[in-house]
Structure 1
Amino acid sequence: AARDPGSRAKIAVKSNDRRIDPVGACVGMRGARVQAVSGELGGERVDIVLWDDNPAQFVINAMAPAEVASIVVDEDAHTMDIAVAADNLAQAIGKSGQNVRLASQLSGWTLNVMTVDDFNEKNEAETNRLLNLFITSLDIDEDFASVLVDEGFSSLEEVAYVPVAEFLEIEGMDEDIVEELRGRARAYLTTKALADEESLESAEPDESLLGLEGMDRHLAYVLASRGVTSLEELAEQGIDDLAGIEELDEQQAGDLIMKARNICWFSE
């Protein structure tokens, strides 16, 4: 269950008996059961959500009454991008973000709601990023890179370490091609790791960054290696700007950015 006490709640239900409709059983005849519960809670609106062991389907259910047009799951970041029609965006987000916030709490996933156009634009940008990454890092042509993207490869690490057997399921792949491709990916990752280590050693964070509440010394040096060496520079960042830093999740990044902004922008 996820609640905004006194205002709205979302409750996930399931039944071990296939003959029983769990949502209907909880709602009751003409909504009598759920209305009785709502009355006991001072008029708090209660949404009954059908639980599903597929996280994407569960999120689609939890976003009701909004209709989800498309959804993309990022298991590594534990986030989902949700596309809705433009005229359905306000309902999907809810008043003060209530609908998406409760759906996020109920599912345990970070949810990013956007219009279908923005969703498609973001996916196109991500596809182009991956194409450029594979073309430049692996020294392959665009057609070959497109095959990798279409087959679901989203990082050089996957190219380097996915089992050979999975590669061989792709039409046109043989063991020689796979080994050459994996070798190029591993060589690039090794070179990049050495360059990152040298950059990290040479970067020097400002004392103001080192002293920020919630900041540890290692993280400060990681940020400095990415050009963020002071509180002022951290305050100017967005969460997306800090994406890819293993030491930071979205929540931590947002907290640190807001602390820096409070000090740099809002303190007297």
Structure 2
Amino acid sequence: MANAGQIVAALRDIGSTKDLTPDEVHDLLKDGILAGLMRIHGPNVDAEIAIDESTGEFDIVVLRRVVAEVEDPSSEISLEEARWDDPGFEVGDIMEVPVDFAQFGRNAVMAMKQRIVQRVREGERQRIRDEFEDRVGELLSGEVQQTERGKMVVMLNLARDADAIIPWKEQNPRERFRQGDPIRAVLKKVDETPKGPRLILSRADPLFVSALFKLEVPEIYQEIVEIKRIAREVGGRTKIAVSSRDESIDPVGACVGMKGSRVQAVVSELGGERIDIVPWHPETEVFARRALAPARVSRVVSNPERQVITAIVDEDQLSLAIGRNGQNVRLASQLIGWQIDLYGSREWLEKGPEFSLFGERDEDQYETADFPLAELELPATTLAALNAAGYNTFLQIIDLETQDFLRVEGLTEADAERLLSLIDQLTVVEGEAPAEEAAADGDEAPGDDVDGGVEAESDESAGDEPAESEG
């Protein structure tokens, strides 16, 4: 068994590894010794522990109150027994009993070790919690450690012991990462789990785009240029509205950079996702004109009560205003926060203002499709148990672990394994799929490449002059 000096030396090594101060190491040691004494004497034992800095030795003295009748042997001693040691003891006195560390048996040493390990883990968890709880929205970099059931486990460069994951629904479905690949993502939130804080990262949230621009554009980092709003369809297109606190600085030009260098860096990180940058305006009608760029809008009429914008464009601008599968007008609507009813000039004249060109929005082609659990081939009892626990769709269970399923009343371990296997089947994608998808996308829409995102800026800027003059 290791002596006291060896234990102190080992704890100092742990302290240097875990960035603990000498005082914190001493507190750990004292707490561990107290746990060992509890295993020997009982849960209410009281002791004084002194550590010699020079030798690493420590003195342990157990304190026991002298009483007429013992009720708690761990902290009390009878008057009769105390007087065997010193006849001068009276009821109420404190008897000091020296303890040699060599008297610690295997059980006491194990209790001491467990307490120290527990305290170290709690300290690490609290450190991670303190470090990251105020960093939501920041860009973090790391390495893909593993991929399981669609979610990615990430080892962060600056906090390798932190539990960080990118859930399936926070990933770009057009990207594929393998174990060992470097990765960047934005911190979306910090979840509390039984094992400590878990960092939820995202590459699909608009915060990711904002964090990338903050990294690439010094004016945004210095808060001269502000990103007012972001509308994003992951893997397809993003619109951002920016404004400047300094009238001498063009916010759109600052984000685009010389020859598009800044926005190109962001587009590259997003895997070629197209980016439209428009100047923000407090007046909704002017803002709507700009949000529909690169299309030029002939006329805008607003209905503040219903929060509806009616936009009329020339026939040659209609396809630009709509975008592929209605993407441009849909993102513009999200960006301004109002519904946009879009008409071609001919349609407007023929149908009148009561006719809307668009009905309900279709499901975003780039979003992960969700569906009811009832569509899966699940036993009726399993489905009923999941529904009773509030799980009704596939995306609600996609990130659950075995222990999460076992907490659901009515589910067995076999049910949990069956569900995990089913999730694996529905989330695993073949390695060749990304290349095929990229080729298919390139054949279908050659205009939606990286250059397209930059071209949108110049088109938007050219179309902005009428908006300025009208505003």
The TM-score with structure 2 as length reference comes to 0.26
Larger Rg: 2
Q: Which has the higher helix share?
A: 1
TM-score by length of 1: 0.46
Q: Greater share of strand residues, 1 or 2?
A: 2
